Amino acid sequence: MSDGLYGALFRHVAVRVPAERTHRIGLRALQAATPVLPHRTPDPSLAVTAMGLEFASPLGVAAGYDKDAEGVRGLARLGFGAVEIGTVTARPQPGNPRPRLFRLPADRALVNRMGFNNAGADAVAARLAALRAGGPLGTVLGVNIGKSKAATGPDETLADYRHSARRLGPHADYVVVNVSSPNTPGLRDLQGVDALEPLLAAVREEIGPTPLLVKITADLDDDGVDAIADLAVASGLDGIVATNTTVARSGLTTPADVVEAAGGGGLSGAPLVEPARAVLARLSARVARRLCLVSVGGIADAAEARRRLEAGATLVQAYTGFVYGGPAWPGRVNAELAAG
């Protein structure tokens, strides 16, 4: 589909079809088309070695797009060097009431309060096992795990993450512990070092040598970023994914009444550019090259991806930029990155 046709189609559905329904239709179409999709192999110059893994491109798709590992092979064929599925929780859960995903086209942004809707670790593990049995995926597979909403208290939370790590770790090339979504009560409290340290240790026990990363929010203050960076190094983590969505709503072009009507949840897309750059700069200065830094938030084109890589990121991820850019977007970004 040409960029012009996709843009016209997006503008049409953006005002007529609910965002979550559009997402489901797109994912199902990708699944159906996967057997006949050409594999847009990135230029060899883009290959990256990180965490002992070989990435065909530094560009990956962020968690949230493919929550239940339904479109991994299709996303690989579009040219993504990594596909991070999830967030997956130990228990299956429906997520928050609908509507829970909203477009802000004037800001090239999304607001979501999905609430970790997913099929649960056992079901996703079975799907990943079947995927692996079908041959090479054509991409690096990351698995992002989070807390079930029903898990309360430190012991139950640890057991919840342990179950997900135990079931999903054997099928993952790397695992990400998500403690930064604003849509699960109490989750962001786990970003405090006292809570995060035993959680990361528990997950590490379950997954063994599989690379382990933690995903943090754009809303952490400088001291919070520094504390997690220091903990990541001390705990032997392999990397940090920065950043998740923000609860801030400042500086938007979208009229205030439209933003208010969208309600609470995490804001992603272009408004995250400056916060994500700032967190990356602080992490890069703090950990240098001791960790793999995965920069996500507001990456809408190759120029921004290149800027993050030059600022210290090893890898980059996109979600909202991909949604607005369409199926040709990853191939285009790869081509522009390779052109220099």
Q: Where are the beta strands (DSSP E) in the chain?
A: 48-50, 53-55, 59-61, 82-88, 101-104, 109-112, 140-145, 174-178, 212-217, 239-244, 266-269, 292-296, 315-318
CA–CA distance, 7 with 238 (Å, rounded to integer): 38
- Judged on CB neighbours under 10 Å (0-12, 13-18, 19+), 235 is middle
User: Any bridge partners for residue 266, and if so which?
Assistant: 112
CA–CA distance, 47 with 56 (Å, rounded to integer): 4
Of residues 234, 231, 102, 128, the one with CA closest to residue 179? 231
CA–CA distance, 85 with 16 (Å, rounded to integer): 28
CA–CA distance, 270 with 320 (Å, rounded to integer): 8
**70: Cβ contacts below 8 Å, ≥ 6 apart:** 27, 31, 127
Q: Mapping DSSP to helix (H, G, I), strand (E, B) and coil, where does residue 17 land?
A: coil
For residue 255, the one-letter residue type is P
Single out the catalytic residue among 164, 181, 268, 284. Answer: 181
For residue 260, the one-letter residue type is E
CA–CA distance, 162 with 164 (Å, rounded to integer): 5
Q: Mapping DSSP to helix (H, G, I), strand (E, B) and coil, where does residue 266 land?
A: strand
CA–CA distance, 174 with 121 (Å, rounded to integer): 15
Distance (Å) of CA 106 to CA 152, 202, 251: 39, 43, 12
Residue 303 has a CB neighbour count (10 Å cut-off) of: 11
CA–CA distance, 67 with 70 (Å, rounded to integer): 8
Does the annotation mark 181 as catalytic? yes
Annotated catalytic residues are 181
